[in-house]
Chains A and B, each alone.
Chain A
C-alpha cells in the first residue's frame, strides 16, 4: 500500500522531500546529524528518480496535478523521458556527492555553519529537481530561483575570501538570467494567457506572425544561455567553480548547467516548437557558432590555467559547447547526442572535481605547481583524475568517446560534417590541458607538501571512484544511455518533455 502511495505521488515527492528536509536540517543543527539526515534524503531522492524512470517504461508521460487543480489552471508536473534522465542525473550526483561532502566540508567550512551548508545543499537539490519536474513556466522560474539563491550561498561558503566576490558575480549574472527568463515568461503569458507550458504551446499564434513571441523567445534564450553558461555568457562560471568548496563545485558542475541545458531544450521543443526555433528563427546557426566558439576558446583558455579547478571550470564551458552543438544540429540524432553528453559529462566532471577536492583536502592547494609528484603519495586520487581526464578527451572505453562518437555521427548524418571534424580537433586541446596535470603529478619531483600528503580518506575516494567507475562502465556498455537518450530525443521532437 505504501509502495502504491509513493508511486502515485512520485512526481510531487521527488521535489517535496528535499524541500521538507531542508528546514529539518536547520532544526537538527548538529553537523554530523544534519549530514546523516541530508545523506538519507539525497539517497531517497535518487531512488525516487530511478523509480520514475522505470515507471516511464510503461507510461508515456507522468502528469501530476498539484493541489488537485487540473491544468492549465493549476500547476502541473509533467515528467517525460528527458526530464526523467535529468532527474536521475541531478539526484544521482546529489547522492554521490553527499558521502564525499562529510570530510571535505569538515575541512573547508566552519563547523557552526555545517547545518546551513546541508540546508542550502538540499534546497539547491530541491530547486534543480523542481525545474525539471514542473510543467508550469512560472513554477520553473520559482524553482530556478530556489536553486540559484541557494547555490550563491553554497559558493560563498568557500574558505577563500574570493569565494564571496565569485558568489556575488554569479548572483549578478544569475539574476540577469533569471530576470530575462521571467520577462520571457511574462510576454508569453501576455500573448497566450497561460502559464502551463503545454497550454502555451497550443495557444501560440502561427510562427512569425507575432512580434511579442519573438521577443519572448529572445529573452528566454538569453536567460537559459546565461544559466547554462553558454559561451560568451560563461564569465560567472570559472570564478564560481574555482572558489566554491570542493563538494559544491563537484555538485554544481555536474548538475546546475545540465538543468540549464534542460531549460533550453524544454522551451525550444515543448513550448516554441522546433519549427519556430530553427526555421522561423535562426537559433540552430547561433547555437552551432557559439558551441564551436566555446569548444575552442574555452579549451584554449583552460590550457593556460595554473589553478586546476579553474582549468576544469573552463573545460566545463567547452564541454557545454558539445551539448549545445548537439542541440544546434537540430535533428533527433543531434539532440540525442547532446543528451548523451549531458549525462556523460555529469559523470566525468563530477568525478574530476571530486578528485581535485581530495588533493585540496591533503595539500590545501589546487595550484598546478603544488601538485608536483602528488601521484606518488596519492596514487588512487590521481588515477581517478587520469581516467576522468581520458574520458574528457574522448578515449575509447570511456564515456567521452561515446559522446563524441554520437556527436560526430549526428553531424555527418545531418550533412554538417565540418562540425564533426571540429569536435575531433577540439578534443586535441583537451589532451593538452589534461596532459599538463598528468605530467606535473606523475613526472615531477614532489614538493614538500606533496611528499607529506597522504591518500584521501575512503569516504571521499569511494564516491570519486563511483563516478569514475561509471565513466568506464557506461563507456563500455553504452546501450542504456544511448537507448534512453534516443527515446528522449524522439519524445522532444514530438514536443513531449
Chain B
C-alpha cells in the first residue's frame, strides 16, 4: 500500500501504532461479533448487537486506512445487496414455516421436533438481522465518510 492511498480518505494515518493495533484488533472484533451472533440463543447478544460489532470492524478499518480501502474490502454494491438479503432471510424463514403448514414465523415445524425447530428458526432470523444491521451500519458510515466536500 502506498502512502498516498492511505491518505486518500482524508485521514492522517501514517501513525504506525494505530495501524498495527488496528490490524491486530480487527480479526478479534469480527470473531467477537460472530460469537455474539451465534451465542445469542444462550447468552446476552443477538443479531442487532452482532451486526453493530461486525460493522465496527469495517468502520475502524475505514477510519485508519481510509474509506476507499474500506470500500475495497466491503464494496458498497455488495453491502447494499446484503441489506436486502438479511431482510429476505428473516422473511424467508417466516415463509418457510408458512409453507410447512404452520403460522408465519412459527419455528416449530422447521426441525424434526419443536425445540430443534425453534433453535434453527431463531438462529436464522437473528442471522438475517445481523446481516442487515452490519450492512446498514457500514452503508451509513460510507455515506457520511465519502461525502463530497
Contacts and interface: CB of A to CB of B under 8 A. Distances in A.
B103 A22 contact: no
A125 to B, nearest CB: 15
A26 interface: yes
Contact of B83 (A5, A12, A16, A23): A23
B6 interface: no
A16 B106 contact: no
A26 B91 contact: no
Interface string A302-341: 0000000000000000000000000000000000000000
B26 interface: no
Contacts, number: 50
B91 A67 contact: no
Contact of B80 (A12, A22, A26, A66): A26
Contact of A9 (B92, B104, B107, B108): B104
A19 B94 CA distance: 12
A24 B88 contact: yes
B83 A19 contact: no
A67 B118 CA distance: 10
A248 B51 CA distance: 32
Interface in B48-105: 80-81, 83-85, 87-88, 91-92, 94-95, 98, 102-105
Given A16-B91, A16-B94, A16-B95, A23 B104 contact: no
B98 A27 contact: no
A24 B84 contact: yes
B91 A66 contact: no
Determine which residue in A12, A23, A26, A27 has the highest number of CB atoms from chain B within 10 A of its CB, and name it: A23
Contact of B84 (A13, A16, A26): A26
B84 A23 contact: yes
Interface residues of A, number: 17
Nearest to A25: B84
Interface in B107-131: 107-108
The SS class assigned to the A binding surface is helix
A116 to B, nearest CB: 10
A67 B81 contact: no
A23 B87 contact: yes
B88 to A, nearest CB: 5
A20 interface: yes
A27 B81 contact: yes
Contact of A23 (B85, B95, B98, B103): B85
Nearest to B85: A23
A19 B132 CA distance: 14
Contacts of B102: 68
A455 interface: no
Interface string B18-38: 000000000000000000000
A68 B103 contact: yes
A65 B104 CA distance: 8
B105 A26 contact: no
Interface in A16-68: 16, 19-20, 22-24, 26-27, 64-68
A4 to B, nearest CB: 12
A68 B83 contact: no
Contacts of B108: 68
Contacts of A20: 87-88, 91-92, 95
B103 A66 contact: yes
A24 B84 CA distance: 7
Interface of A: 5, 9, 12-13, 16, 19-20, 22-24, 26-27, 64-68
26 contacts: A5-B98, A9-B98, A12-B94, A12-B103, A12-B104, A13-B104, A16-B91, A16-B104, A20-B88, A20-B91, A20-B92, A20-B95, A23-B83, A23-B87, A23-B88, A24-B88, A26-B81, A26-B83, A27-B81, A27-B84, A64-B103, A64-B104, A67-B104, A67-B106, A68-B103, A68-B106
6 closest A-B pairs by CB: A23-B84, A68-B106, A12-B104, A26-B84, A67-B105, A23-B87
